[in-house]
Amino acid sequence: MKKTVAIVVAFLNEEENLSELYQRVSAVFEKEPEEVQFLFVDDGSTDGSLQCLEQIRQNDPRVRILQLSRNFGHQIAITAGTDHADADAVVIIDADLQDPPEVIPDLIVKWREGFEVVYAVRKSREGETWLKKFLAASFYRVFYMLAKVNVPMDAGDFRLVDRKVVDALKEVRELHRFMRGLTCWVGFKQGAVYYDRAARKAGETKYPVWKSLRLAFDAITSFSATPLRWMTVLGALIAFSGFIQGIRVIAGRILHPESFEPGWATVVALILLLAGVQLLSLGLVGQYVSRIFEESKKRPLYFLRNQ
C-alpha cells in the first residue's frame, strides 16, 4: 500500500501564489511513489484566495480546505492543519514560495531513511533586509542559550513530520505556540536538509520585523523562565550597588563634610533607573502571569468555519 504525504499550507491573503504552489507541488509528486494530499488552511483571508482554491478543489479531489472562523495567527493555523491531516507524513510549507516545493523530495528521502522530523535549513535568504537576517540569526542563538531546546539554526517552519510526531503534537495544546520549537521538543529522530531560500514570489510578507519580534518573545517565554532569573540577578546587583553607594555617601559625609554636595542630578538619575528596572521587571512577570491566566481558561485553540 502506498504511503501518503499531506502538504499543509497555512495562508493569509496569498491569492497570487496559491495556484503556482499547487502546480509545483503536484509536479514534484508526479515523480515520487508516495501519494500526495493537499490541506490548505485559510487563516482569515480577505482576498480571493478561497475562490482560487475552490476552483482547484473542483478539479482535484486530493485538495481539502480548512477555513478558520477568524485570523488566529500562523502558528495556530499550522496546528489546525496538522490536527486534520490524515497521512503517513506531513510537510509544512508556506504559500509565499520562498520555500521551494522542489526541496520536498529531499525531505522525503530523509524520512525514508528513518528520520521522523526532517527540517529544512536555510543556507541563504534572498529578498530579505539585513536587519531581518541579523535578528533571525540572533534569535536562534539566544533561544538555544535560554531554552536549551535544540532548534536548528536557520530552520523555519518548512519541515516534514512523521505520523508519530503529529500524534505527539496533538497532545500539546498550549495557546502560545512556537511550532518549530515544539517539533524539536517532542523528540524522535531528527535530521536536516539544506537549501537556498528564494525571495517572496508575490504579495506582501506576513512577518514584518515587529511581528517576528513578537513571535520571538512568545517563543522564549513559552520555553524558558530564564528572563525571570535575569531580572532577579539584575535586581540583586542594583541593590548591592545601592548599598555600596550608601556606604560611600555616609563615609564621605563623615570624613569630608566640607566637600560634600547634595548631587540632586545623581539622585534623580538613580531614582529613574531603579523605577525603570522595577517597571520592566513587573512587566516581564506580568507577561508570564498573563500566559498562566490564558492557559487556565482552557479555550480551544481555534474554530473552523467550514472544511
Mean pLDDT of the chain: 77
**Residue 25 vs residue 245, higher pLDDT:** 25
Cβ partners under 8 Å of residue 183, min gap 6: 117, 119, 159, 161, 165, 169
User: Once rounded to an integer, what is the mean pLDDT over residues 127-145?
Assistant: 66
Q: Give residue-wise pLDDT tens across range 40-86.
A: 998 888 888 888 888 888 888 888 989 898 888 888 899 998 988 88
Smallest CA-to-CA distance from 87 within 192, 178, 177, 8 is with 8
Cβ partners under 8 Å of residue 246, min gap 6: none
CA-CA distance, 201 to 195, in Å (whole number)?
17
Domain 4-223, second-level architecture: Alpha-Beta Complex (3.90)
CA-CA distance, 24 to 97, in Å (whole number)?
10
Q: Is the pLDDT of residue 145 over 90?
A: no
Q: Give residue-wise pLDDT tens across range 157-169.
A: 888 989 998 898 8
**Residue 170 vs residue 134, higher pLDDT:** 170
Q: Is the pLDDT of residue 301 over 90?
A: no
Cβ contact 63:56 at 8 Å: yes
Q: Give residue-wise pLDDT tens across range 221-261.
A: 666 666 666 776 666 676 666 666 666 666 666 666 655 55
- Provide the residue ranges of all domains of the chain, joining segments of one domain with +: 4-223, 226-296
Cβ contact 161:116 at 8 Å: yes
Query: pTM score, two decimals?
Result: 0.71
Cβ contact 107:160 at 8 Å: yes
